[in-house]
């Protein structure tokens, strides 16, 4: 609670002396995260709305040393870089008791202003180097999280130094220094010339991952997507280059889903990515839901725009003014459109490639119907298609369900969802959503049609829906199936389903024998490709077979065929199955080759889906008493629990589970950048347990109301 914090008066007095005038204080409800804080500043408006947002990490080293990290909200912080900068190994998040004792504040209220309470100068101060580039003001809490003041970086730095602290600046854009960097001078000697030449000649590179999925999930994920050549980091935070190996997966998803919606009668179109402020402001609830994430264009060259233009965060407000022009009669319905495009959501939370990015690719469908039932039916049909994308294409199991009122799409009537689960970190991830918008947007944008069923000639507002699937699919697939070797691709989206590597070539192999083996590899590739199998013969002679094995395992190719002179002679194929590293031999019969390999690929898909389902089942618990809720959450589980339907209880469950979860402070370091460490409602599953929820009270501690439904709860990306 903000009221339990100390030091506000002292820090304000110190700030006033530095700035030379009274400091303006903005009051607002208590906030614990940047996500909660941002809309409050936007409500205040003016300088507060444009102030730079920052985050604070309070860390503890292995020897008990304490460190306060202050960084821009958009900066990707790395604890290893902090540790290297302050000379402390194994930095982790300090407990709330440590925070209260050292800085006199609670979680959510810690900022450098709280250093006023560090009388003994025990806290090391680490500042993000990027703060020095901020031209305007930075928003900070004055020792309590229900108030905000605005200071320049220069003023903040003066405040810190005036208290007797010497801040350490950390460049978070630099790569973490390897452990060997601090070795004795002898370690700086260049490698022997002969060894360096050998490395160049053989083309050897450090292929493998150097971190395990179970040890550091965030670092593991970053290495997989970069070393498997899926993502390249870009110089705009939160934006990424999608490389061909990943983009082809998106192409397969597009083709799969496009075929399904074409059968439904949905037509593709394209609308501009720009939207005027006046149009965006037409739908109040919708705008408020997206306001913190809207990116605005305010200048063209050196000239200020008279009317700022937004980049679409979604396209309801872009498209619906034109629905009003096109829909006049019942004969114009249904109107069913889809577009494949990009959208921009300038999120302040920590960006994660594919999962949470500022620009992403997606499809968005927008349809209008004469009746609610027709509209709702399409919502569920599309949701089933999304489930099929995940389960039939990506081998990722999903739970279909309805979002709670708190989590539904801003301005809509109801939201349905497919929820995925990342077993390694015990977190859910929203896979795709399909919304019934009701008549809300029709009213705002004057969409109506002449209804022949009305004898008085009055018009009817149509019922609308919208639905979207994004490149998040690729991130979920990677997180669910990847292992400590690298990426594991489901066969149906792999751009290379089968790679053929020649083996058995020795120093005694004649040029004719070598060519004969290469010809056999090419013949096998051609036969598979003719059967609509994406196959590739890797005949590179500047890499050893072992290097190529590792290369394709890292990239996740479902099947590797090792073809040597023995296999050519015996007409047998040696297969290595990527997802379980099983090796098996099959007959090489021309008549059945394609059928046999397709059967293997289908078997791989089924096995990957079954494995993911089993992992989710093992980490899903049904809980009816609050005492078991947080322990199950800390065991990285999804929780199916009864709920009374009250939004107040929903909020309380999130707060209470966060407060009770000490593991979120002492461990699970990859979770620190998530919006909330407590459990949130993921969905109300359509497949409810046989036991009625009404036979239990609400799961919230202290609630005596009867439950209305079973809800799936969990931590979430």
Q: Same domain, yes or no, for 605 and 675?
A: no
Residue 455 is assigned to a structural domain of this protein: yes
Residue 114 is assigned to a structural domain of this protein: yes
Residue 232 is assigned to a structural domain of this protein: no
User: Residue 597 maps to which CATH number?
Assistant: 3.40.50.800
Q: Same domain, yes or no, for 474 and 333?
A: yes
How does DSSP classify residue 228? T
Q: What confidence score (pLDDT) does residue 681 get?
A: 97
Q: What confidence score (pLDDT) does residue 713 get?
A: 98
Residue 204 is assigned to a structural domain of this protein: no
Q: Same domain, yes or no, for 606 and 624?
A: no
Q: Same domain, yes or no, for 391 and 370?
A: yes
User: Residue 271 maps to which CATH number?
Assistant: 3.30.930.10
Could you write out the three-class secondary structure of 584-628? EEEECCCCCHHHHHHHHHHHHHHHHHHHHHHHHHHCEEECCCHHH
Give the chain's radius of gyration (CA, Å): 29
Q: Exposed/middle/buried for 159, CB within 10 Å: 0-12, 13-18, 19+?
A: buried
Domain that holds residue 135: 2-170
Q: Same domain, yes or no, for 446 and 527?
A: no
Closest CA to 710 of 401, 419, 258, 354: 401
Q: Same domain, yes or no, for 472 and 501?
A: no
Where among 459, 481, 503 does a domain terminate? Answer: 481
Tabulate helix, strand, coil % of the chain (nearest 5): 40, 25, 35
For 684-691, which contacts have Cβ atoms below 8 Å and span 24 or more sequence positions? 684/401, 684/402, 684/403, 684/404, 684/709, 684/710, 684/711, 684/712, 685/399, 685/400, 685/401, 685/640, 685/710, 685/711, 685/712, 686/400, 686/401, 686/402, 687/399, 687/400, 689/622, 689/640
Closest CA to 280 of 318, 325, 326: 318
Q: Same domain, yes or no, for 51 and 162?
A: yes
Where among 589, 610, 631 does a domain terminate? Answer: 610
pTM > 0.75: yes or no: no
In 439-534, which ranges are E strands? 449-450, 459-460, 463-470, 498-502
User: Residue 669 maps to which CATH number?
Assistant: 3.30.110.30
Q: What confidence score (pLDDT) does residue 24 get?
A: 80
Residue 223 is assigned to a structural domain of this protein: no
Q: What confidence score (pLDDT) does residue 436 get?
A: 98
Q: What confidence score (pLDDT) does residue 178 get?
A: 45
Q: Same domain, yes or no, for 473 and 324?
A: yes
Q: What confidence score (pLDDT) does residue 285 get?
A: 59
* Phi, psi angle pair for 126, to nearest 5°: -115, 120
- Residues 297/309, Cβ–Cβ less than 8 Å: yes
Q: Same domain, yes or no, for 369 and 397?
A: yes
Q: Same domain, yes or no, for 543 and 688?
A: no
Where among 566, 590, 610 does a domain terminate? Answer: 610
Q: Same domain, yes or no, for 404 and 466?
A: yes
For the chain, the domain total comes to: 4
Which residue, chain included where needed, has tokens 């049609």?
449
Q: Is the peptide bond before 334 cis (omega within 30 degrees of 0)?
A: yes
Residue 330 is assigned to a structural domain of this protein: yes
User: Residue 96 maps to which CATH number?
Assistant: 3.90.960.10
Residue 228 is assigned to a structural domain of this protein: no
Residue ranges for the chain with pLDDT beneath 50: 177-205, 663-676
Quote the CA–CA distance of 15 and 9 in Å, as a whole number.
10
Which residue, chain included where needed, has tokens 């504040």?
105
Quote the CA–CA distance of 228 and 51 in Å, as a whole number.
38
Residue 205 is assigned to a structural domain of this protein: no
**What are the residues whose beta carbons fall under 8 Å from the beta carbon of 105, sequence distance 6 or more?**
5, 6, 7, 99, 114, 117, 143, 144
- Residues 359/239, Cβ–Cβ less than 8 Å: yes
Q: Same domain, yes or no, for 278 and 257?
A: yes
């Amino acid at each position: 609670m903000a009221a339990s914090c100390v030091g506000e008066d002292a820090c304000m007095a110190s700030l006033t002396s530095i700035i030379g005038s009274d400091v303006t204080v903005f009051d607002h409800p208590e906030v614990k995260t940047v996500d909660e804080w941002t809309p409050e500043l936007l409500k205040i408006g003016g300088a507060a709305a444009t102030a730079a947002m920052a985050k604070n990490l309070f860390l503890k080293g292995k020897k008990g040393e304490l460190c306060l990290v202050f960084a821009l909200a958009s900066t990707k912080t790395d604890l290893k870089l902090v540790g290297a900068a302050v000379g402390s190994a194994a930095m982790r998040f300090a407990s709330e008791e440590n925070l209260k004792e050292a800085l006199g504040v609670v979680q959510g209220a810690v900022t450098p202003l709280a250093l006023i309470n560090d009388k003994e100068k025990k806290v090391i101060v680490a500042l993000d180097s990027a703060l020095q580039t901020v031209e305007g003001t930075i928003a900070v809490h004055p020792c309590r999280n229900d108030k905000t003041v605005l200071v320049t970086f220069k003023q903040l730095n003066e405040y810190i130094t005036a208290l007797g602290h010497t801040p350490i600046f950390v460049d978070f854009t630099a790569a973490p220094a390897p452990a060997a960097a601090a070795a004795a001078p002898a370690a700086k000697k260049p490698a022997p010339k002969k060894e360096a030449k050998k490395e160049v000649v053989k083309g050897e590179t450090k292929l493998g991952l150097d971190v395990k999925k179970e040890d550091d999930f965030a670092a593991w994920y970053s290495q997989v997507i970069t070393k498997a050549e899926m993502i390249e980091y870009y110089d705009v935070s939160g934006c990424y280059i999608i490389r061909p190996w990943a983009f082809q997966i998106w192409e397969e998803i597009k083709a799969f889903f496009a075929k399904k919606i074409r059968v439904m009668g949905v037509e593709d179109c394209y609308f501009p990515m720009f939207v005027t402020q006046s149009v965006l402001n037409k739908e109040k609830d919708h705008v408020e839901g997206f306001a913190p994430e809207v990116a605005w264009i305010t200048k063209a060259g050196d000239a200020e725009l008279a009317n700022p233009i937004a980049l679409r965060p979604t396209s309801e407000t872009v498209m619906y003014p034109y629905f009003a022009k096109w829909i006049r009669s019942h004969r114009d319905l249904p109107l069913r459109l889809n577009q494949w495009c990009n959208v921009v959501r300038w999120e302040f939370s920590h960006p994660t490639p594919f999962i949470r990015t500022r620009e992403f690719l997606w499809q968005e469908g927008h349809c209008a119907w004469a009746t609610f039932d027709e509209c709702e039916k399409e919502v569920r049909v599309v949701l089933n298609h999304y489930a099929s994308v995940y389960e039939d294409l990506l081998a990722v199991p999903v739970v279909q369900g309805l979002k709670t009122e708190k989590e539904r799409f801003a301005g809509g009537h109801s939201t349905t969802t497919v929820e995925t689960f990342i077993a390694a970190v015990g977190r859910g991830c929203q896979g795709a959503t399909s919304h019934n918008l009701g008549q809300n947007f029709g009213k705002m944008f004057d969409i109506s049609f002449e209804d022949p069923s009305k004898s008085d000639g009055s018009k009817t507002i149509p019922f609308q829906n919208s639905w979207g699937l994004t490149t998040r699919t690729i991130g979920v697939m990677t997180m669910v199936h990847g292992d400590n070797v690298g990426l594991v691709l489901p066969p149906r989206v792999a751009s290379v389903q089968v790679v053929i590597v020649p083996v058995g070539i020795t120093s005694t192999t004649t040029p004719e024998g070598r060519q004969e083996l290469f010809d056999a590899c090419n013949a096998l590739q051609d036969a598979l490709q003719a059967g609509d199998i994406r196959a590739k013969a890797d005949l590179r002679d500047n890499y050893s077979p072992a290097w190529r094995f590792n290369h394709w395992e890292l990239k996740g190719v479902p099947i590797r065929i090792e073809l040597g002179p023995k296999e050519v002679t015996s007409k047998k194929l040696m297969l290595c199955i990527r997802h379980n590293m099983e090796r098996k031999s099959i007959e090489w019969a021309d008549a059945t080759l394609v059928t046999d390999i397709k059967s293997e690929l289908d078997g791989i898909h089924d096995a990957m889906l079954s494995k993911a389902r089993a992992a989710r089942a093992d980490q899903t618990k049904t809980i009816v008493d609050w005492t078991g809720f947080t322990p199950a959450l800390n065991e990285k589980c999804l929780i199916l629990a009864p709920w009374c339907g009250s939004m107040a209880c929903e909020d309380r469950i999130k707060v209470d589970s966060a407060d009770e979860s000490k593991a979120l402070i002492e461990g699970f370091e990859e979770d620190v950048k998530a919006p909330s460490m407590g459990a949130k409602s993921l969905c109300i599953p359509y497949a409810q347990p046989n036991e009625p929820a009404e036979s239990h009270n609400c799961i919230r501690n202290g609630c005596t109301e009867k439950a209305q439904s079973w809800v799936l709860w969990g931590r979430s990306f």
